[in-house]
A and B are shown apart, each in its own frame.
Chain A
């Protein structure tokens, strides 16, 4: 983990960043990762509560409120680097799949749903 990296608490409102690492120095850090704060993930800071209150972030389709202390555990960078994804993920994460995913977009037609 490089100390020169930004963390989520420094990302301005409305800006988007990419998670590079999560420091596991707090009890809630692993919960953050379970909620989807894993390396490579895109996260948007929506707003901040007044008087230094919690942040509101959007990640993986959900809005999540978290305190500044928790946001400081989430290291981010503003540009997406595929290298980070592969470092963080040990599975056969393959950038080719990433691009081919467009082709499999195949939502179920509404007619197929609940016809009984």
Chain B
């Protein structure tokens, strides 16, 4: 097995459906026989990323590549970009509007959670162009 790819279009218009891709990935990884811990780490990291894409970037694309030794999650959007990545990585820092907080997100925990649940996370972002995040969980 070289790799197995799962691709998702993330709808940026609909907060209600945000997270559907992550739930599907969770089911697929379970069917593939990964341990509950690995499945939780991948699905939580992806879920936070999906929510971020809907809140900040009007959606985007998500790819999950399953290799024999690792699972890679690639989230790419054409949103406004992140001007200061170090600041965005701080727990509690958020630019989410109040209406998002009333929905249970925007506590400034998204990016820190994504980093916490993965073995590696790289962020490439350009203001006005978009953001691509690549996360890896070793299996």
Decide whether A and B are members of one complex. no
Chain B contacts to A: CB under 8 angstroms: none
